[in-house]
Amino acid sequence: MKFSIYKHILLIGFVVLITLSCKPSYKVTHINSSNTAIENNLSTDNFSEFDLSQYKNKIDKQMNEVISNSKIEMDVNSPEGLLGNFICDLTLFTTRQLLKKDADFCILNNGGFRTSLPKGDITVGKIFELMPFDNQLVILELDSNQMIELINYIKQKSFLSNSRKAGVPISGMRISIIGADIYRVFIGTKEFDNSKKYKVVTTNYLANGGDQMNFFKNANHIENTNVLLRDAIIDYLKLLQKQKISLDAELDGRIEVSE
């Protein structure tokens, strides 16, 4: 019996030994390395440059296209400015008349306008300077609490000055502020009704709470128009040019601040 056990142990050991000996083994026998020097006389005959001039000329032609003419320079200001009024007005017009969408008013932000519109010819390139971002127009529905937050936001910004971020450009609204109180608010031609919901057109950047417009974050998102604000500006200016209308504007008191 003991011999049989020893015999099995020896047999198992022999199998293990054979198995291990069958595994392949590798041994590094030689290592070699070399360096290739790159000198100034390296040939460049195999490389060719892209000719970008044709693309540059095409882009320059598009950017230099004159699409409008203005009798005045328009820039941002607080509590209202010519530039903000103009762009909010054309945004509301585009939404209602061209896109056939329902919107009660428009609100944008002066910080999004990176330059002014000059007096004289206005080119496509100037609009890209003014609005370099691909911000799209969206329509939101606000309840009474969100509307009150929005109105208070406008009041707060209207007291700021000496900054391109001061003031809030609007269209379709009129606000009268006396001292620290909001005296009267009109949406369109009717006084603000805190039992109603209102539809506002703005940009997707602001709709996501940009420029501290946090009251938009929980608003009912009605629709993304898939129209860039920049394109809306360009198309509107081309429409005016087609009708041979030069830009001209005056402040209309849509936001009034008094002691």
* DSSP H helices in 31-111: 53-63, 82-93
Beta-bridge partner residues of 178: 181, 258
How far is residue 138's CA from residue 95's CA, in Å, rounded to a whole number? 9
- The sign of the torsion formed by the CA atoms of 191, 192, 196, 198 equals positive
Percentage above 70 pLDDT, the chain? 79
What is the average pLDDT score of the chain? 87
**Does position 14 have pLDDT exceeding 80, yes or no?**
no
Of the candidates 104, 34, 115, the residue with the CA atom closest to the CA atom of residue 75: 115
Cβ neighbours of residue 62 closer than 8 Å, sequence gap 6 or more: 124
pLDDT given at position 187: 98
**Does position 54 have pLDDT exceeding 80, yes or no?**
no
Tell me the pLDDT tens digit for each residue of 118-168.
Answer: 999 999 999 999 999 999 999 999 999 999 999 999 999 999 988 888 999
Provide the whole-model pTM.
Answer: 0.79
Beta-bridge partner residues of 123: 66
Tell me the pLDDT tens digit for each residue of 204-231.
Answer: 999 999 999 999 999 999 999 999 999 9
How far is residue 60's CA from residue 124's CA, in Å, rounded to a whole number? 10
Q: Supply 92's token pair.
A: 């509301």
Determine if the peptide bond prior to 79 is cis (ω within 30°): yes
Tell me the pLDDT tens digit for each residue of 181-197.
Answer: 999 999 999 999 999 99
Cβ neighbours of residue 42 closer than 8 Å, sequence gap 6 or more: none
Strands 136-142 and 220-228: antiparallel
With 0-12 / 13-18 / 19 or more C-beta atoms within 10 angstroms meaning exposed / middle / buried, residue 226 is exposed
Which CATH number applies to 65-258: 3.40.50.620, 3.90.780.10, 3.90.1150.10, 1.20.58.220? 3.90.780.10
Using CA atoms, how far residue 171 sits from 89, 191, 245, in Å, is 5, 15, 21
Tell me the pLDDT tens digit for each residue of 58-111.
Answer: 788 889 999 999 999 999 999 999 999 999 999 999 999 999 999 999 999 999
